[in-house]
Amino acid sequence: MTNMYRKQRRHNTYVRLANRAYNPSMWTNGFQGAIQKADALAKQGWVVDTDRGALTTKQAEAMAKEAEKKGFETQLLPIAQLDGGVAQFVATKPKLVDPASSSPTAATSAGSLTADQIEGNFLREFWSPAEQPTEMDNGYTLNPATTMGFARRDADPKSAKDLVAKGRRLLQDPKAAIREEFDREAVVAIYNAYKNMGKKFVAFGPTGQETAADAKNILKGIRALQGGREDTKIRIASEGKDGVVYLANPEGDMAVLAPVVSDDPSTKDPDMISYNEAIAAVRKP
C-alpha cells in the first residue's frame, strides 16, 4: 500500500521519563508488574499504549479525564514513585452502548456500536487525546506510519484510491483468495505469536497466494473493530499474493492493512509466522 497522503509528523504531548531520577530496583520491579497487568488487560479488550513510555501523574490523569469524556473506561497502572508523583500507564476501553438508551440510528442491534465509537477506538490506538489525525479522506483515516487505515461503514467508496470499494467487494466475495473469520481463539493465537513468540508478521492464505501483515497492526485493528466486545467475530479478506489485508466487523467498519513483502521470497523470514502455525501453537496440549 503506497502512501496516499503527505505524511506529517506531530509533536508528542506526553514526554518519556528516561531522564528523570529514579530508584533502579523499584522502577524495574514496578515496570514488570505494570507490563504484566497491561498484557492481561489487553486480552480483555483494553488498550494500553506502552510504546509512548510512562506518564507523569499529571499527564496520566489528564489523559484519563479526556478519554472518559469521549466515552471510555480508564484504569491507571502505576509503575513507581518518581519525583514526588507516580509514573504510570493509562488503560482505556470503550464503554458498550446500552441499546435501551440509544437512538435507532446510533445502534442497530443489541451490543452494536456506532461508526463514531468504532472510529474513536481506532484513533485511540494511534493518537493521544491531545492529538488528531492529519490524513483523512471522506471517512477514511490513515495511521501516522501510513501502514494502516480505517474506513467507517459510511465512508465514500472512492476514498483512499478505491481501497474502500475494493475491500467491501472482497469481504463479500465467496471466491476471494483469502477469507477467514477471527474468533476469540484466533485473536489469542495472533497475540501469542506476537507477544510470546516474538513474531512481527502474520501470513494468511494458501501456498503461492500468501499475503502478510504487521502483527501489532492486526491486533490494533481487531481491538478497534471489536470495541471491547470480545466475542465479536472479525472477517478478514485479501485478493491474494502480497495483497492488502482487510478486516471488518459486523457493522461494516474496516481496518485496511498494508501487506508486508519479503525482500527474498525464497528465504523464510524468522519474524514471520503463518496464521495456521499461530493457531497450532495455542492448540498444543
Going 145 to 12 to 96 to 48, the CA torsion angle's sign is positive
Distance (Å, whole) CA 191 – CA 275: 11
Report if residue 118 sits inside a domain. Answer: no
Report if residue 220 sits inside a domain. Answer: yes
- Determine the angle formed by the axes of helices 184-195 and 275-283, rounding to 10 degrees: 100
Count of domains for the chain: 2
What does the pLDDT look like over 132-152, one tens digit per residue?
Answer: 787 888 889 988 888 899 999
Q: In what order do the strands lie in the sheet with 85-94?
A: 47-48, 85-94, 72-82
Domain identity same for 177 and 263? yes
For the entire predicted model, the pTM comes to 0.65
Domain identity same for 236 and 164? yes
Give the highest mean pLDDT range of 112-116, 164-168, 264-268. 164-168
Query: For residues 261 and 253, which has the higher predicted lDDT (pLDDT)?
Result: 253
Domain identity same for 154 and 215? yes
**5-23: burial string, b at 16+ Cβ within 10 Å, e else:** eeeeeeeeebeebeeeebe
Report if residue 155 sits inside a domain. Answer: yes
Domain identity same for 78 and 144? no
Report if residue 122 sits inside a domain. Answer: no
Last-in-domain residue among 94, 111, 127:
94
Domain identity same for 56 and 194? no
pLDDT exceeds cutoff 90 at 125: no
Report if residue 106 sits inside a domain. Answer: no
- How much is the pLDDT for 55? 81
Domain identity same for 152 and 276? yes
Report if residue 195 sits inside a domain. Answer: yes
Distance (Å, whole) CA 36 – CA 173: 40
Distance (Å, whole) CA 140 – CA 108: 22
Domain identity same for 159 and 217? yes
Report if residue 109 sits inside a domain. Answer: no
- How much is the pLDDT for 89? 84
Report if residue 16 sits inside a domain. Answer: no
Give the list of residues 6+ apart from residue 46 with CB closer than 8 angstroms, or none.
Answer: 38, 75, 91, 92, 93, 228
pLDDT exceeds cutoff 50 at 170: yes
pLDDT level of residue 19 (50, 70, 90 thresholds)? very low
User: CA separation (Å) from 136 to 87, 132, 232?
Assistant: 34, 10, 27
Domain identity same for 171 and 241? yes
Can you tell me the mean pLDDT for 41-53?
73
Domain identity same for 256 and 189? yes
Residue 61, domain extent: 24-94
Last-in-domain residue among 94, 124, 156:
94
Nearest to 78 by CA among 65, 67, 68, 91: 91
Domain identity same for 153 and 90? no
Give the list of residues 6+ apart from residue 50 with CB closer than 8 angstroms, or none.
Answer: 35, 38, 89
pLDDT exceeds cutoff 70 at 52: no
Domain identity same for 64 and 184? no
Domain identity same for 140 and 278? yes
pLDDT exceeds cutoff 50 at 12: no
Can you tell me the mean pLDDT for 2-8?
33
Last-in-domain residue among 94, 124, 155:
94
Can you give the CATH number for the domain in which 172 is found? Answer: 3.10.150
